[in-house]
Amino acid sequence: MRTLNPCREVLGALGGLVAAMLVQGAQAGTLEAINHTHWAINRFSVDGRSGIDIIGPYQGGGGGCCFNAPSRWRPGMTVRVDWETGAGSSEGFPGFGEWDKFLIWKKEIESQKRQHTKVVPIPDYTGQKTCGLTVHFLPCDELEVTTSCHAYGSPEYPIKTPLHLPQPQSCPN
């Protein structure tokens, strides 16, 4: 009787997935994010794949596996991004010593959480190496994405949006 090793089984399945992507001409990479807002990104996913990290206000993070960019870009390519925003700090945390105050604080924090979904176009990457997908979270629940292998802030990186963006007084509908 064969004993299953869960780690070996998962690694084998991931290896098979990567091999299948390579055979199909897809280029696999991680899901990363840059948060240009004062809200925390509590979680995000791209086409159902988790971005792993919670990303604080004006920070980067992610590390989820895997985004598979087809070997050839085609007009109309999109991804669906699902994410949750919430309070970007623990300001006002009363501690656990006074349970009633804690529950009031927790309810306030929970009331600030919002669920979002948006389908965004993937920019043309013809003739470029791709390295996964980076999602830029912008004010007014706007998004930009890139498949660039360059680091955010480098001269070659295609998205030049500053990290610290002010929150507008109102957002267009």
CATH code, 104: 2.60.40
Which has the minimum average pLDDT: 17-26, 39-48, 56-65? 17-26
- Would residue 22 count as lying in a domain? no
Residue 12 above 80 pLDDT? no
Q: What is the pLDDT of residue 89?
A: 77
Cα 35 to Cα 5: distance, rounded to the nearest angstrom: 38
- Would residue 3 count as lying in a domain? no
- Would residue 82 count as lying in a domain? yes
> Mean per-residue pLDDT for 7-35?
54
Alpha-carbon distance values, 153 to 78, 84, 158 (Å):
24, 25, 9
Confidence of residue 92 (pLDDT cuts 50, 70, 90): confident
Task: Provide the number of structural domains found in the chain.
Answer: 1
- Would residue 129 count as lying in a domain? yes
Handedness of CA 35, 40, 46, 47 (dihedral sign): negative
- Would residue 68 count as lying in a domain? yes
Tens digits of residue pLDDT in 105-140: 989 989 989 999 999 999 999 999 999 999 999 999
Instruction: Name the token pair of 68.
Output: 């598979």
Q: What is the pLDDT of residue 87?
A: 86
Between residues 2 and 73, which one has the greater pLDDT?
73
- The one-letter amino acid code at 127 reads G
Instruction: Describe the strand order of the beta sheet including 114-121 as a list of residue ranges.
Output: 49-50, 40-46, 78-86, 114-121
Is 57:37 a contact under the CB 8 Å cutoff?
yes
pTM value > 0.95: no
Residue 67 above 80 pLDDT? yes
Tell me which residue range forms the domain holding 110.
Answer: 28-146
- Would residue 151 count as lying in a domain? no
Tens digits of residue pLDDT in 160-171: 999 998 889 898
Instruction: Name the token pair of 25.
Output: 């001409």
Q: What is the pLDDT of residue 14?
A: 41
Cα 99 to Cα 105: distance, rounded to the nearest angstrom: 10
> Mean per-residue pLDDT for 38-53?
92
Cβ atoms within 10 A of the Cβ of 132, count? 23
Tens digits of residue pLDDT in 51-60: 988 899 999 9
- Would residue 2 count as lying in a domain? no
- Pairing label, strands 114-121, 27-35: unpaired
